[in-house]
Amino acid sequence: EDKVVQSPLSLVVHEGDTVTLNCSYEVTNFRSLLWYKQEKKAPTFLFMLTSSGIEKKSGRLSSILDKKELFSILNITATQTGDSAVYLCAVEAGNQFYFGTGTSLTVIP
Amino acid sequence: DAMVIQNPRYQVTQFGKPVTLSCSQTLNHNVMYWYQQKSSQAPKLLFHYYDKDFNNEADTPDNFQSRRPNTSFCFLDIRSPGLGDAAMYLCATSPWPGQAQHFGDGTRLSIL
């Protein structure tokens, strides 16, 4: 059965800390891995990764994919209270998307 | 701004009373998706349309149906809602299959 597993389930850090969120997957016909940030409403898109070893960056956020070991990490440096959210990892296999249950990040001042 | 709009934001219905949730998009995307998200769980894909080609997930209950009358609109019909159908329903679009999805704000459905 296909699955996407995220860790940790939840994380509490202080402002300014750096965090690393993990996503491992086990799917057939892998096509891409996506990261989303979900606050109170719908997920908003962060990154889409298709190739191993190529880091994607957006401000303080960065992500990389390892297709050999079947995982991705999302890094957030110099965290801010506005980074508090659930971070979802989704894997596209064929034309279907499989979501992990998310990592809940809380950044305290 | 181009966007994905879901109506209503909150919907309350009675047990067994049919309900329809709507989604519209101004992005002109070919693919539209419906997800169900229960509290503290990941979004679960119910259906997706690639243009007019309808794709039903294997474990989507028969109680759920969908319509896409044109490119811009997609509807989720729940024929006889049960208490277990209370959830957030998310609509998303993407230009083509396999590309990043843009989500609406969701409709939170409550069942009395």
Give the one of A45, A48, A95 whose C-beta lies nearest to B97's C-beta. A95
Q: Is the pLDDT of residue A18 over 80?
A: yes
pLDDT band of residue B2 (cuts 50, 70, 90) is low
The residue among B40 and A30 whose pLDDT is bigger is: A30
What distance in Å separates residue B106's CA from the closest CA in chain A? 6
Among B6, B50, B101, which would you mutate to test the A interface (most chain A Cβ atoms within 10 Å of its Cβ)?
B101
Q: Does A48 touch chain B (CB under 8 A)?
A: yes
What distance in Å separates residue B21's CA from the closest CA in chain A? 16
Q: Do B103 and A32 touch (CB under 8 A)?
A: no
What's the confidence (pLDDT) of residue A95? Answer: 63
Q: What percent of chain A has pLDDT over 70?
A: 96
Q: How far apart are CA A89 and CA A105, in angstroms?
A: 14
Q: How far apart are CA A63 and CA A95, in angstroms?
A: 22
Q: Say whether the peptide bond before residue A8 is cis (omega within 30 degrees of 0).
A: yes
Using a 10 angstrom Cβ sphere, with 0-12 exposed, 13-18 middle and 19 or more buried, the burial of residue B100 is middle
Structure tokens at B27: 């992005």
Q: Is the pLDDT of residue A15 over 90?
A: yes
What distance in Å separates residue A1's CA from the closest CA in chain B? 13
The residue among A82 and B99 whose pLDDT is bigger is: A82
What's the confidence (pLDDT) of residue B51? Answer: 83
What's the confidence (pLDDT) of residue A109? Answer: 94
pLDDT band of residue A87 (cuts 50, 70, 90) is very high
Structure tokens at A56: 């994607």
